[in-house]
Structure 1
Amino acid sequence: MTGRIVIADDHPLFRSALAHAVGKVWERAAIIEASTAAEARAALEAGEAEALLLDLHMADSSGLSVLMDLRQDYPALPIVIVSASEEPRVAAAAAQLGAAGFIPKSASLEAMREGLAAVQGGDAWFPQSAAGEDNDLARIASLTPAQRRILAGIRQGFLNKQIAYELAISEATVKAHITAILRKLGVGSRTQAVLLAAKLDVDQPVADPARA
């Protein structure tokens, strides 16, 4: 049976490069291209996939939150991050949050094929500099989907009543979730939670929440 590989990236030329690398590894695979996270999710819902190649920056997603969401909904799916970022912390965070591999966009086609072949064989593939566990990321990953949505609202500067309206829940429920979020993250304020959650960003400097 021919497998399906989903490539999610908002740059057509880079999708073509990835498709070429995929074709060398999964020779008979049906390649499904997506330019947004929503399109990638729709492709996954349409049928089982052997792997997802995921850009962290698209029109409807930015940072590692999209990886956490897809990892939770498709726990058995190998997800390979393809990113313009070459920061070791980003690759290390992707590994900790359940990615099967991390391929910098600056990698050669040969390196891409090497990484994809490793993932196809059931191995992980990350830059050598990607190492180390981050306890803050582990705490973020422990949040429920509802708590992550509320944290996203906090990061956007929304008031409790705005978050309640967006999520169609009561303000009391929002307040209860925020209390649980602060407890799980080990912080004492919304500002500290926002600074800690910045570790999900790819191209932003990360501040120390303990100093907020």
Structure 2
Amino acid sequence: MNQPIRILIVDDHPLLQEGIVMVVEHEPDMQVVGSAATGRESIALCERLQPNLVLMDLRLPDISGIDAMIAIRAKWPTVKVILLTTFAGDAEVNRALKAGAAGYLLKTMPRKQIVESIRQIHAGRRRIDPGVAANLAEHMGLETLSQREVEILKQVAEGNRNKEIAHQFALSEETIKSHMKNILEKLGASDRTQAVSIAVRRGIMQL
């Protein structure tokens, strides 16, 4: 008889964590070996419990799910990590997949699809939620914001004007205006408020 898939569940919301545990434990070929509420706890439990697969939330209270995944895969490269989250922004999906995520699933997926995805990923396939994949395809090839542009947009989100942002980064106000023009063009935004909204929705930055 094949050994069950050993699964570690990482989510900082107790009710959601319990719900995911219940979904997985109903499957005869799966075993929940542990659960964690933070990224650092998930890394420690991987060492102690040696799971085959980790179901990881994206947003955690200490480090991001992506950072936790990178640390886990650096130590245990055979462990497959699935991001199971409510966030479908293409920028976050791209970061997760480039960092080695074996799957990117949404918590809104039907239970049957989640467990079938776990089986497929354990067997060596990569699985992305269809809606997430469509969003990814829609933005594929678009020019991304530079790190400096993201930093400037975060300042905009905090309500700072160009003059204040220029002072913050020791740049001229004209340079900030030029950056803002590029940001609006890259995001297809008509104004600063819309640029912030698009960037948050796509996972380019968090507020």
TM-score (norm 1): 0.57
For residues 34 and 127 of structure 2, what CA distance do their matches in structure 1 show?
22
- The answer for the alignment partner of 1:141 in structure 2 is none
User: Could you list the runs of 5+ residues in structure 2 that have no partner in the other structure?
Assistant: 145-198
Q: Which amino acid aligns with 1:68?
A: I
Identity within the alignment, %: 22
- Structure 1 contact 56–83 (Cα < 8 Å) conserved: yes
How many residue pairs end up in the alignment? 147
Provide the rounded CA distance (Å) in 1 between the counterparts of 2:200 and 2:120.
24
Q: Is 2:204 aligned against 1:206?
A: yes
Q: CA deviation at 1:51?
A: 0.6
The 3 A distance-change label for structure 1 pair 91 and 206 is closer
Check conservation: 1:8, 1:15, Cα contact below 8 A: yes
Partner of residue 84 from structure 1, selected from 83, 86, 90: 86
Report which of the two structures shows the higher radius of gyration computed on alpha carbons.
Answer: 2
Q: 1:115 aligns with which of 114, 117, 126?
A: 117
Structure 2 match to 1:35: 37
Structure 1: give runs of 5+ residues left out of the alignment: 138-200, 208-212
Work out whether residues 85 and 202 of structure 1, in 8 Å CA contact, stay in contact via their aligned partners in 2.
Answer: no
Q: Given that residues 91 and 127 in structure 1 are in contact (C-alpha distance below 8 angstroms), is that contact kept between their aligned partners in structure 2?
A: no
Give the TM-score normalised by the residue count of structure 2. 0.58
Cα distance change of structure 1 residues 204 and 69 upon mapping to structure 2, 3 Å threshold: farther
Any idea what SS the aligned residue of 1:81 has?
A: strand
Query: Equivalents in 2 of 1:109, 1:27: separation in Å?
Result: 15
CA distance in 1, matches of 2:84, 2:107: 6
Residues 79-119 of structure 1 show CA distances to partners (whole Å, capped at 9, x for unaligned) of 01011102233223322221111111222212212221211
Does the 8 A contact of 2:9 with 2:32 survive in 1?
no
Q: What is the root-mean-square deviation of aligned Cα atoms in Å? A: 3.4
